[in-house]
Amino acid sequence: MSESPPLADGSNDCVSPSTVSSLKSGPSACHTCLSVYELFDMIVREVYGEGEGKGTVASLAATSKAFHGGAIPILWERLETLNPLLEVIPMDVWMQALQNTDPASVPQQIAYPHDSPIRRAMWYGQHIKRISWSEDPESVNQEIYAVGSLTCLPPTLKLLRNLRSFSWTERRPSVARFLYPDLFVNPFLQELSLDTVLTEEAPLCSVLDAVRETCPQLRRLRLAGDSSEPLHVAVGAALADLVRATELIDLSCTSPLFDDVLLAIVESTSLQHVDVKMGWYTLDNMVVSALPSACLASVRTLTLRFEALSLSSLALLENIGSSVLFSLALHVNAEVFDNDLLTKHLAALTQAPFAATLRKIEIHAWRMDSEEDGDCPSITFKTLEPLLELKKLTHFVVYAKSFAMSACDVREIALAFPDIQTLEFMAAAFAGEEPPVGALQHLVELCPDLTLLTMPVTAAFGVPYLEPDWKPRSRVTTYAIATPAEDAGDPRVFAYLSALFPYVPPDTITDAEEVSEDEKYAYAEYLEDTRPPALYALSLAS
């Protein structure tokens, strides 16, 4: 077996000139260029990012030891599976680790670190900067067992000594126990994403504690689990300690938080991007009284998910002290049955320190997947009127069960937001009080920067006539216009919309009758993910 390349110094960034064997200088300028590590690395990275570049760099690595040493750090920098790492661990190491009943004696039995195969595995592992591992439930679970076997290796065997980002996806408790801190925890870790079971203490609690003690550079943390179940109490306590002990910049958690976690988050002065959910039990009077006068002082993008609107959620909004907040999203899990309370929440935003910097706002006042009819009132102009004071908005998105607005209301909205680029009023049903189709002309004439439009309209009052010399000024390239069933397929509506929005090709218009029920409910997600330049006239039931 040929000798493996030397180990890089653990104190550096794992990619240094010492990892590339020196190329002999020759009369050729090419030889001279490739002998300079920085230039060689730049060239290989440029090749890697183009077309079939990954295969090209892999072929380059197989040509010589010199190219191999320079190409491997790039090929191994980002891995979407642990298989390559598992394959370079010698079989005898696996056997000794798995057969030993006393884990403390494993390091003495394994020939480490002078054994050449071990050095080879560590040399490859040190180049890995990002790993994203996701268990495929439909595939054979051989990799799962191999990943679990990593927990049997001695903790002194640092395979991922320079890992910067670690992503783990697996929600089954039987597999989540393989989430072993010693596998990825190191002083250089900056990003951690765990999509796993958050309702059980093990192993997440020990993972968060290890990260808090070992990863001072952690800046981004994402926890994804069952959004209907709260964090385990011990996990919540560990998360609160982690938030207080590190200088996190980005934090998101899909499970409802307990009080101590919420207080740790709002007290943080380093967090800039926050996406959290609060349960029925999160914002009680005691927590509200403990809120600092300037919550989330440095936050720039904020997503707050409430079970329901209340005076406590209003108090939280009123105490946000950031003067640099750029994007805000408010999600209400329960249907909003009190528009006055919603209006008070929106009015609080106009008095906040971030009123001058806010550019994007999303209001989710109705669950698109809800099967409850209820008596949820339509969103009216009066409900949204407080937001018209935010003159600098460029993105305005509202999800509601239905809308009740007139053409004059739409005109007032257009006048209030001259810089608007995205305007989406997403309705789950029709209430018979939607704006007339002619109201869209106000948006075309008063919002020159508008490029994305979603709105329910009705042609019950007829379709306006455009003068022959009228010239379209719209820059809209993506729009979705929802109409009642009786208006779907009306050629006058399609002709009018095509004249208003000339940048959308006519052949991309979809008739309402071709839209299935599943597509209707996936409407919001479809727009968010793809945003095609198309017009959808949806036939939604009243």
Show the beta-strand stretches assigned E in 217-335: 220-224, 250-257, 273-278, 301-306, 327-332
Q: Which helix (H) or strand (E) holds 117?
A: helix 116-125
Q: Which amino acid is at 94?
A: W
Give 153's Cβ-side CA count (13 Å radius). Answer: 29
Which residues partner with 253 through β-bridges? Answer: 223
Please choose, from the candidates 129, 131, 127, the residue with its C-alpha nearest in 3D space to the C-alpha of residue 70: 127
Confidence of residue 266 (pLDDT cuts 50, 70, 90): very high
pLDDT at 270: 97
SS3 content of the chain, % helix, strand, coil (to 5): 40, 15, 45
Question: What are the pLDDT digits (tens) for 195-207?
Answer: 988 888 888 999 9
User: Is the pTM for the entire model greater than 0.75?
Assistant: yes
CA dihedral 464, 480, 485, 458 (to 10 degrees): -30
Q: How far apart are the C-alpha atoms of 388 and 415, rounded to whole Å?
A: 9
Q: Is residue 378 predicted with pLDDT exceeding 60?
A: yes
Residues of the chain with pLDDT > 70, as a percent, come to: 73
User: CA angle, 489 as apex, 487 and 490 as ends, to 5°?
Assistant: 60
CB-facing half-sphere around the CA of 517: CA atoms within 13 A: 2
How does pLDDT run across 2-47, given as a tens digit for each residue? 443 333 333 444 444 444 444 444 456 666 667 777 787 888 888 7
> Quick one: DSSP state of residue 103?
G
d(CA 18, CA 86) in angstroms, rounded, equals 25
The answer to whether 171 touches 137, Cβ cutoff 8 Å, is: no
